[in-house]
């Protein structure tokens, strides 16, 4: 087992400086997957790449052999940053991109003010664009028009900060665009500080209906915006997705990969005194098709009790498919008497609890008296 692209990407949110939400990346990936078959995906672009936090996700939306155009003023031209929006850094951007894309020949950085760029500077065949550069009305109007002009029919365009009261210029520029060019873009969905638009195309499938169908039970509202029905998202998408199995091209629903590990404690219930240390044996079976990782601080058996983070019992050797071991976990019971549930799970440190990808945990009833 190796951490997936999405699991590694989620970890970067702790260390790459930026203004992006992991759930926005998942939203873009899902609509990209619904709008285009693999063979249809084309070039992609971002205006305002900053240090690369969102760029890592946008680059993953391109088609095979296609380019990612990365536009920013970077550090040399900040005097042109009229709306004071962020401050790009070319070295950090390059390093962060290289971490995810060893061969970054497909990245085309353009160190210019987006307002100076025309469609002939960028080319055509764009299937996804993310606008997150200057936030003044003029910059946003220009960037929407530029992205519209270079997009294929059906192309997706995401706009940052449309509903952010700290940047009213974004809304002003976008509304100006809608009044001057009604029907050039259709808003589809708003969430995680983004509005996602689509350039109309003949025989367009209903992406919103497909999106809702893909996540049954996801809380959504529908509002009318620019004369279209738009989905409003509030709750995180990440809870719905198996981040280990998913790729940016194919998000797999939580729980659909089935059981990977079977955990069978030797006891179903325990009676103990407050603050007592007890040992519990658990049979761990690898019923997946991959080896489980091993190592101190890497892979272990642990439990949840009262939402606390508890000690691990580390695996010193990896477990091959069909193998099983019996491991002990040491539990200190709560000091307050009462009835508790001890939830036993496998933890891949810094990557996932198996519960997070839909694997069943084992429950033990604990009576402290
Ligand atoms: C809000 S930050 C982008 C954040 C980034 N997308 C992320 O999610 O981490 C805005 C970026 O746009 C750049 N920028 C501002 N005005 C610009 C313009 N007119 N043309 C190109 N880049 C611009 C800034 O240098 C800054 O790096």
The Cβ-side half-sphere exposure at 13, using a 13 Å CA radius, reads: 14
Atom of ligand 1 nearest to the CA of 52: 9
pLDDT in tens, 164-189: 999 999 999 999 999 999 999 999 99
Atom of ligand 1 nearest to the CA of 81: 16
| Residue 118 pLDDT | 97
| Residue 15 pLDDT | 93
When pLDDT is cut at 50, 70 and 90, the band that residue 234 belongs to is confident
> Distance (Å, rounded) from C-alpha 141 to C-alpha 177?
6
Residues 74-97 have a mean pLDDT of 90
User: Please, what is the average pLDDT of the chain?
Assistant: 94
Name the residue of 73, 92, 121 to mutate for ligand 1: max ligand atoms within 8 A of Cβ.
Answer: 73
- Strand segments, DSSP code E, in the chain are 43-47, 68-71, 107-110, 126-131, 151-160, 186-191, 194-198, 220-225, 228-233, 261-265, 269-272, 277-286, 299-305, 308-309, 313-314, 324-332, 338-348, 352-353, 362-368
Helix (H) or strand (E) holding 140: helix 137-150
Helix (H) or strand (E) holding 57: helix 53-59
Cβ neighbours of residue 203 closer than 8 Å, sequence gap 6 or more: none
| Residue 171 pLDDT | 98
Q: What are the tokens at 278?
A: 């007890």
Name the residue of 12, 16, 50, 110 to mutate for ligand 1: max ligand atoms within 8 A of Cβ.
Answer: 50
Percent residues over pLDDT 90 in the chain: 83
Atom of ligand 1 nearest to the CA of 20: 8
Tell which residue, 65, 30, 77, 25, has the closest CA to residue 46: 25
**Cα–Cα distances in angstroms (integers) from residue 267 to residues 270, 281, 327, 345, 355, in the given order:** 7, 8, 13, 15, 20
Name the residue of 117, 122, 129, 133 to mutate for ligand 1: max ligand atoms within 8 A of Cβ.
Answer: 133
pLDDT in tens, 264-281: 999 999 999 999 999 999
> Distance (Å, rounded) from C-alpha 196 to C-alpha 189?
5
**Could you say which DSSP state residue 243 is in?**
T
Look up the pTM and report it. Answer: 0.90
CA of 85 to the centre of ligand 1 (A): 6
CA of 260 to the centre of ligand 1 (A): 42
CA of 16 to the centre of ligand 1 (A): 15
Q: Is the CB of 88 under 6 A from ligand 1?
A: yes
Q: Is the CB of 25 under 6 A from ligand 1?
A: no
Atom of ligand 1 nearest to the CA of 89: 27
> Distance (Å, rounded) from C-alpha 356 to C-alpha 148?
38
> Distance (Å, rounded) from C-alpha 290 to C-alpha 292?
6
| Residue 308 pLDDT | 66
CA of 104 to the centre of ligand 1 (A): 20
Contact between residue 361 and residue 13 where contact means Cβ atoms under 8 Å apart: no
Contact between residue 199 and residue 153 where contact means Cβ atoms under 8 Å apart: yes
Q: What are the tokens at 366?
A: 């604990």
Determine phi and psi for 44, rounding to 5 degrees: -135, 160
pLDDT in tens, 208-220: 999 999 998 888 9
Name the residue of 85, 136, 144 to mutate for ligand 1: max ligand atoms within 8 A of Cβ.
Answer: 85
3-state helix, strand, coil in the chain (%, to 5): 25, 30, 40
Q: What are the tokens at 56?
A: 């890592």
CA of 161 to the centre of ligand 1 (A): 12
Domains of the chain (ranges; CATH) run: 5-240 (3.40.50.150), 261-368 (2.60.40.10)
Q: Taking the CA atoms of the chain, what radius of gyration do you get in angstroms? A: 24
CA of 99 to the centre of ligand 1 (A): 21
pLDDT in tens, 116-151: 999 999 999 999 999 999 999 999 999 999 999 999
| Residue 30 pLDDT | 97
When pLDDT is cut at 50, 70 and 90, the band that residue 358 belongs to is confident
pLDDT in tens, 23-57: 999 999 999 999 999 999 999 999 999 999 999 99
| Residue 306 pLDDT | 65
| Residue 217 pLDDT | 86
Q: Is the CB of 173 under 6 A from ligand 1?
A: no
DSSP secondary structure, 108-121, as one string: EEE-S-GGG--HHH
Does 84 score more than 90 pLDDT? no
- Closest-CA residue, ligand 1 atom 9, reads 18
> Distance (Å, rounded) from C-alpha 365 to C-alpha 340?
6
């Amino acid at each position: 087992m190796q951490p997936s692209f999405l699991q590694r990407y989620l970890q970067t949110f702790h260390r790459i400086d930026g203004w992006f939400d992991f759930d926005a990346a998942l939203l873009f990936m899902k609509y990209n997957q619904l709008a285009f078959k693999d063979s249809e995906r084309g070039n992609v672009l971002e205006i305002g790449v900053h240090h690369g936090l969102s760029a890592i996700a946008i680059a993953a939306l391109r088609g095979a052999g296609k380019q990612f155009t990365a536009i920013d003023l970077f550090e040399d031209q900040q005097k042109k940053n009229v709306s004071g929006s962020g401050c790009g850094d070319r070295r950090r951007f390059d390093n962060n991109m290289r971490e995810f894309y060893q061969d970054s020949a497909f990245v085309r950085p353009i160190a210019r003010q987006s307002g100076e760029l025309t469609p002939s500077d960028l080319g055509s065949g764009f299937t996804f664009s993310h606008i997150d550069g200057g936030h003044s009305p003029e910059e946003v109007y220009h960037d929407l028009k530029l992205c519209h002009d270079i997009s294929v029919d059906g192309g997706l365009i995401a706009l940052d900060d449309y509903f952010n009261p700290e940047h009213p210029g974004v809304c002003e520029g976008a509304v100006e665009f809608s009044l001057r060019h009604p029907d050039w873009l259709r808003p589809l969905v708003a969430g995680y500080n983004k509005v996602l638009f689509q350039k109309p195309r003949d025989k367009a499938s209903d992406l919103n209906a497909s999106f809702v169908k893909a996540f049954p039970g996801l809380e959504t509202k529908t509002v009318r915006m620019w004369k279209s029905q738009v989905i409003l998202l509030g709750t995180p998408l990440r809870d719905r997705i198996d981040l280990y199995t998913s790729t940016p091209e194919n998000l797999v629903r939580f729980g659909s990969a089935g059981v990977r590990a079977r955990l069978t404690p030797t006891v179903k219930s325990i009676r103990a005194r407050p603050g007592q240390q007890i040992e519990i044996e658990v049979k761990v079976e690898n019923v997946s098709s991959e080896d489980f990782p091993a190592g101190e601080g890497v892979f272990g058996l642990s439990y949840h009790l009262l939402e606390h983070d508890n000690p691990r019992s580390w695996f010193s050797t990896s477990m091959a498919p069909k193998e099983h071991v019996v491991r002990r976990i040491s539990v200190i019971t709560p000091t307050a008497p009462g009835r508790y549930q001890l939830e036993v799970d496998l933890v891949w440190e810094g990557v996932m609890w198996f519960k997070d990808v839909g694997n069943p945990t084992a429950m033990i009833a604990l009576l402290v008296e």
